[in-house]
Amino acid sequence: MRLFGCVCGQFHTTADAMGMKAGAARIAAPVPFYVIDHPDGVALFDCGLHADVGNADDPYRQALQSQGQDVTFGPEDIVARHLERLDIDPGRVRWIVLSHLHFDHAGGLHQVPNATLVVQKKEWEAGADRETAARYFLPRRYFDLGHQVLQVEGEHDLFGDASVVTIPSFGHTPGHQSLRVKNAQGDHILVGDACYTCEAAETRNFPDFADHAAMNRSLDGLLARREADTVMVFGHDPGQWGEKPVLPSMRH
Ligand SMILES: [Zn+2]
């Protein structure tokens, strides 16, 4: 089994928005997703941005720009191209574990049509509830595309061999979850947006829309699971995807 990390474009925002110490300084923050090539099937953890969001006339992108943010990516950065570079046909991806239903995590679903989504029940219910979905920015048009959905509650051992296990980490959104992946490469906790960056784990500067008390509890819980060799991979940390990416991205 192999674990890969792929970057589907960059957010352009302030350091403060990512919980980092540099305040109003502008930063570019990566939008990662992960590929798990397991003998029993391929699983993704999240799937990046919708292919159209990079276009200048995309309404979601324009809404971001109106708030002083932006997102950029090229045709090579979308999920389908990353999978092709890994010799994986997007049509044969078996599972997509979604950390949550935000546009930068569920946006790529339209490129992976045959997968079954693995989502916390609380998150799926939040997405279906008009009021909650509006409060937490869960855009239905990106995630409600007719995929099979496996709603899980609590931890879920994806392949039944303890190698890939979901960990609920509520707070960023009502049913956010993280993913622990253990294999010969090591022990990785894919934190997702339970914490955007390494610095945010210290500052505890979380986004306004989130439930901060729940985020603190969830993050404490994730940090307590660390063992000596555990690598925490944060949701949008510029330092983890620069010159030396925290995970390999290509087989060749
Ligand atoms: Zn995110």
* Residue 53 Cα to ligand 1 middle (Å): 14
Ligand 1 center from residue 32 Cα (angstroms):
9
Per-residue pLDDT tens digits of the chain, which is 252 residues long: 999 999 999 999 999 999 999 999 999 999 999 999 999 999 999 999 999 998 999 999 999 999 999 999 989 999 999 999 999 999 999 999 999 999 999 999 999 999 999 999 999 999 999 999 999 999 999 999 999 999 999 999 999 999 999 999 999 999 999 999 999 999 999 999 999 999 999 999 999 999 999 999 999 999 999 999 999 999 999 999 988 899 998 754
CA of 70 to the centre of ligand 1 (A): 13
pLDDT tens digits, 153-184? 999 999 999 999 999 999 999 999 999 999 99
Q: Residue 249: what pLDDT?
A: 85
| pTM value > 0.75 | yes
Give me ligand 1 centre to Cα 86, in Å.
23
Q: Are 77 and 53 in contact (CB under 8 A)?
A: no
- Residues with Cβ within 8 Å of 195's Cβ and at least 6 positions away in sequence, in order, are 19, 201, 215, 219, 222, 234, 235
Task: Give the span between the Cα atoms of 215 and 176, in whole angstroms.
Answer: 10
- 148 Cα to the center of ligand 1, angstroms: 23
Question: What is the spatial distance between Cα 133 and Cα 127, in angstroms, rounded to a whole number?
Answer: 5
Identity at 178, one-letter amino acid code = S
Distance 99 CA to ligand 1 centre (A): 9
68 Cα: distance to centroid of ligand 1 (angstroms)? 16
Sheet holding 164-168, edge to edge: 156-157, 164-168, 177-183, 186-192, 230-234
> Cα(186) to centroid of ligand 1, in Å?
24
For the four alpha carbons of 208, 126, 192 and 249, in that order, the dihedral sign comes to negative
Q: Ligand 1: distance of its center to the CA of 11 in Å?
A: 9
102 C-alpha vs ligand 1 centroid, how far in Å? 7
Centroid of ligand 1 to alpha carbon of 207 (angstroms): 11
Distance 201 CA to ligand 1 centre (A): 15
Q: Tell me how crowded residue 100 is: count the other CB atoms within 10 A of its CB.
A: 28
The answer to whether domain 2-236 has CATH 3.60.15.10 is yes
CA of 23 to the centre of ligand 1 (A): 19
